[in-house]
Amino acid sequence: MFVKIAGTGSFLPERVVDNFEIARKVDTSDEWIQTRTGIRTRHIATDETVAGMAAKAAERALENAGISPEEIDLIIVSTVSAEQSLPCIACDVQKALGAKRAAAFDVNSACSGFITGYQAAAAQIKAGLVKTALVIGSECLSNYVDWTDRGTCILFGDGAGAAILKADCAPEDIQIPCVLHADGSLGEALTCSLGHGKHKVPFDEYYRMDGKAIFKFAVRKVPEVIREVLKMSGHTADEIDFFVLHQANKRIIDAIAKRLRQDESKFPMNIMDNGNISSACIPMLLDDMNRKGILKPGTKLVLAGFGAGLTWGGFYLEW
Ligand code: UT7
């Protein structure tokens, strides 16, 4: 028995920026961006904030799950792009929802953040500490994008995705087929300084990325972690209906599908419309699939993410 997702929700800012608009700012083209990444458009926040988008996605997830804010025991928000360091975004969400009973904290493991949040919440549910948890990925990556750097500004977008976690069995019967990894020695592949502090870090205040290094890392490590998750859950790749992966680059996802010898149709994507929204990608994609009726009771999923840190991880989920 597993910790289930009882409801999902997402939020995208209204403003859509297409590749042609980006090509007016930096030396790139719609053709280059589409062939190298799969991205056509991304949503960019105007008035929206990380906390505001998180709260809107959460309201939709609560409605989808048919539960009230008072039933939430725990709120975890994953973000790397907040406007504030205090209070944490999860406390802002708690206030906005009126989820008075909920404990609240943020996590930062970048694009693996939804996996980290799921594991932390599921472990608390298994320990009997909480019954109902809300896990959100919310990102306003445009806060930290250098719009003169064509290596990064073509990729990122803004948005939020949320999921309600609940167990449908006694805590002692819960299994958590979830694996998290990190390799801090590769951290310089994706950096951003907050610009404050007595001891200045050797990074600047925008996202700086060695795209090639992360590309190679993802294509190697994500299939490995998926195999670990499959082993833990006792399934083969063929038995999985969908692999819901972090949306960093369509070519990365295609390469992972090939390595796992699985048909590309088992790898849903929203990168074409949304770009890479770090920790929001996976819950937003899940919400898309949920609302389109693709996820039926018993549908078998493996979710996996990778990103700055470097971090990577995955978990098995039955709908
Ligand atoms: O969310 C997790 C963190 N991020 C990622 O996972 C990103 C992973 N990496 C990637 O998605 C890809 O590495 C990028 C999309 C960032 C870059 O694609 P690439 O195929 O690895 O391109 P590249 O860096 O090898 O560059 C190939 C060529 C270079 O020109 P030369 O040296 O061959 O003449 C670049 O200067 O493409 C050039 N280039 C561009 N041209 C037009 C690099 N960026 C652009 C651009 N437009 N935006």
Contact 157, 3 (CB under 8 A): no
C-beta neighbour count of 70 within 10 angstroms? 12
- The protein residue with its alpha carbon nearest to ligand 1, atom 6, reads 248
The reported pLDDT for the residue numbered 194 is 87
Rounded to the nearest angstrom, the distance between the alpha carbon of 166 and the centre of ligand 1 is 40
The reported pLDDT for the residue numbered 166 is 96
pLDDT tens-digit profile of 273-294?
999 999 999 999 999 999 999 9
Whether residue 210 has its Cβ less than 6 Å from ligand 1:
no
DSSP single-letter state for residue 19: H
Tokens encoding 236: 């083969």
Q: Does the structure show a pLDDT above 90 at 298?
A: yes
The reported pLDDT for the residue numbered 242 is 98
Contact 250, 38 (CB under 8 A): yes
Average confidence (pLDDT) over 29-45: 98
Whether residue 165 has its Cβ less than 6 Å from ligand 1:
no
- The protein residue with its alpha carbon nearest to ligand 1, atom 10, reads 211
Distance in angstroms (rounded) separating the CA atoms of residues 152 and 208: 7
Check for a shared fold between 3-173 and 178-318.
yes
Rounded to the nearest angstrom, the gap between the alpha carbon of residue 314 and the centroid of all alpha carbons in its chain is 11
Distance in angstroms (rounded) separating the CA atoms of residues 8 and 5: 7
The reported pLDDT for the residue numbered 195 is 82
pTM of the full predicted structure? 0.97
Q: Which band of pLDDT confidence, cut at 50, 70 and 90, is reported for residue 264?
A: very high
Average confidence (pLDDT) over 295-303: 97
The reported pLDDT for the residue numbered 200 is 83
Tokens encoding 263: 């048909």
- 3-class SS of residue 182: strand
Distance in angstroms (rounded) separating the CA atoms of residues 46 and 299: 37
Q: Does the structure show a pLDDT above 90 at 198?
A: no
The reported pLDDT for the residue numbered 101 is 97
Whether residue 100 has its Cβ less than 6 Å from ligand 1:
no
The reported pLDDT for the residue numbered 136 is 98
Average confidence (pLDDT) over 10-30: 97
Q: Does the structure show a pLDDT above 90 at 199?
A: no
Q: Does the structure show a pLDDT above 90 at 221?
A: yes
Distance in angstroms (rounded) separating the CA atoms of residues 254 and 258: 6
Q: Which band of pLDDT confidence, cut at 50, 70 and 90, is reported for residue 201?
A: confident
The reported pLDDT for the residue numbered 225 is 98
The reported pLDDT for the residue numbered 197 is 83
Q: Give me the numbers of helices (H) and strands (E) for the chain, helices first please.
A: 9, 13
C-beta neighbour count of 301 within 10 angstroms? 20
Of 215, 254, 269, 271, the residue with max ligand 1 atoms within 8 A of its CB, to mutate for a pocket test, comes to 215
pLDDT tens-digit profile of 148-158?
999 999 999 99
pLDDT tens-digit profile of 59-73?
999 999 999 999 999
Q: Work out whether the CA dihedral 42, 48, 53, 59 comes out positive or negative.
A: negative
Q: Which band of pLDDT confidence, cut at 50, 70 and 90, is reported for residue 126?
A: very high
Helix, strand, coil % in the chain, rounded to nearest 5: 40, 25, 35
- The protein residue with its alpha carbon nearest to ligand 1, atom 13, reads 211
Paired strand residues for 90: none
Q: Does the structure show a pLDDT above 90 at 168?
A: no
> What ranges do the domains of the chain cover?
3-173, 178-318
Average confidence (pLDDT) over 233-257: 98
Which one, of 180, 171, 142, 181, lies nearest residue 158 by Cα? 142
- The protein residue with its alpha carbon nearest to ligand 1, atom 36, reads 151
Residue 266 has phi, psi (to 5 degrees) of -85, 5
Q: Does the structure show a pLDDT above 90 at 1?
A: no
Please give the CATH topology (third level) of the domain spanning 3-173: Peroxisomal Thiolase; Chain A, domain 1 (3.40.47)
Catalytic residues: 111, 246, 276
Index of the ligand 1 atom closest to the CA of residue 151: 44
Q: Does the structure show a pLDDT above 90 at 100?
A: yes
| Amino acid at position 228, single letter | E
| Amino acid at position 161, single letter | G
Average pLDDT of the chain to the nearest whole number: 97
Average confidence (pLDDT) over 107-114: 98
Query: Percent of the chain having pLDDT more than 90?
Result: 94
| Amino acid at position 47, single letter | D
Q: Which band of pLDDT confidence, cut at 50, 70 and 90, is reported for residue 202?
A: confident
Whether residue 36 has its Cβ less than 6 Å from ligand 1:
yes
- The protein residue with its alpha carbon nearest to ligand 1, atom 9, reads 211
C-beta neighbour count of 202 within 10 angstroms? 7
pLDDT tens-digit profile of 68-88?
999 999 999 999 999 999 999
Rounding to the nearest 10 degrees, give the CA dihedral for residues 300, 301, 302, 306. Answer: 180
Rounded to the nearest angstrom, the gap between the alpha carbon of residue 204 and the centroid of all alpha carbons in its chain is 24
Please give the CATH topology (third level) of the domain spanning 178-318: Peroxisomal Thiolase; Chain A, domain 1 (3.40.47)
The reported pLDDT for the residue numbered 185 is 97
